Amino acid sequence: MSLDTATVRRVASLARIRVEEDELPRLQSELNGILGWIEQLQAVNTDGVEPMAGGGTQALRLREDRVTDGGIQQQVLANAPDAGPEGAAVFFSVPKVVE
């Protein structure tokens, strides 16, 4: 499976990474290099093998339903590039989204 430029563009868009037109050929060949190398996995017979999802094999531990966090509005907002109008910086903000 080899990536064409349209796919590279689509993947970059899905990943929200800007890619300039002149970067595309290099990126495409790098990604294809990696994917071509990964292709060797297809040679492994994995019939009937249960996929291994994560590192841990134990079951989830259930937490108690108690309020133990939150109430730290200013700490949560402290690193925000734009936390709203001065004096009322209680929000994160982004360019207006039209729904």
d(CA 9, CA 12): 5
What is the footprint of other proteins within residues 16-35 (CB under 8 A)?
16-19, 27, 30-31, 33-35
- For residue 73, give both structure tokens: 């509005």
How big is the site for other proteins, counted in residues (CB under 8 A)? 73
Angle between helices 5-14 and 24-38 (to 10 degrees): 90
What is the footprint of other proteins within residues 80-99 (CB under 8 A)?
80-82, 84-85, 90-99
* Binding residue for other proteins, selected from 21, 41, 86, 87, defined by CB under 8 A: 41
4 scored as a contact of other proteins (CB under 8 A): no
d(CA 15, CA 10): 9
